[in-house]
Structure 1
């Protein structure tokens, strides 16, 4: 479990957006997202590792192919998935998602470099729950962390 001071800045921005989007959401004080995973939430970066403080340092080391396969499998084998594509890179990777089978929400990445250009105020968490309900699926309890 991560102490709050060690949480990635992007996660801090996700928590800030949640606090304005989801009623009664409070910052959990940690970075453990197991509560979301247990509800079926998958947070997936295109590249799954980096050297400390060096964004994209592990780009082109094979992670991209792995995450492409994961997205492709979800696209082909599930129905009604809500894909939240944050940032231009994620949006390019999401171009193959079948938008007749799934829902796609797009905005800038929650990184401090772009968060004020549309991530804050995007309301992707409440929009996700609305889409899930319309599809007859159980909404996510974003407070369950």
Structure 2
């Protein structure tokens, strides 16, 4: 999940502070509330510093206290895919997500994209 869900081509963060942040915050809160009601755990894939920081503030990041699975990496764009100590490339975030889903008793996701 991104903190902002759109951007002008070639202009990173160009749609920051346009309302996306409020919407994505509320989505995370709603998913968290619903999971508490249903007793279901959630796997969050957080890409990039803004999304990671915001979601961690909303749901927490310590897995011993947090019943959700939170997988954080750098942003998958060419500008960020290898940055940080948790790069997107090589993170195996999709297989880690499927492993967590399987452990929760849910089906794995087919992440393949057909051309």
Is TM > 0.5 for Structure 1 vs Structure 2? yes
Residue 86 of structure 1: aligned partner: 47
Counterpart Cα distance in 2 of 1:107 and 1:49: 19
Does 61-70 or 94-103 show the bigger shift? 94-103
Length-normalised TM-score, structure 1: 0.64
Task: Count the aligned residue pairs.
Answer: 102
Unaligned runs of 5+ in 2: none
Aligned equivalent of 1:121, options 90, 93, 102: 90
Residue 110 of structure 2: aligned partner: 141
After TM superposition, list the pairs within 5 Å mapping 1:1-145 onto structure 2: 44-78=1-35, 79-95=40-56, 96-97=58-59, 99=63, 100-117=66-83, 118-143=87-112, 145=114
Cα RMSD, aligned residues only: 1.6
Q: CA deviation at 1:143?
A: 2.1
Q: CA deviation at 1:74?
A: 0.6
Residues 11-40 of structure 1 deviation map (CA, whole Å, 9 limit, x = unaligned): xxxxxxxxxxxxxxxxxxxxxxxxxxxxxx
Counterpart Cα distance in 2 of 1:60 and 1:70: 17
Does 99-108 or 80-89 show the bigger shift? 99-108
Unaligned runs of 5+ in 1: 1-43
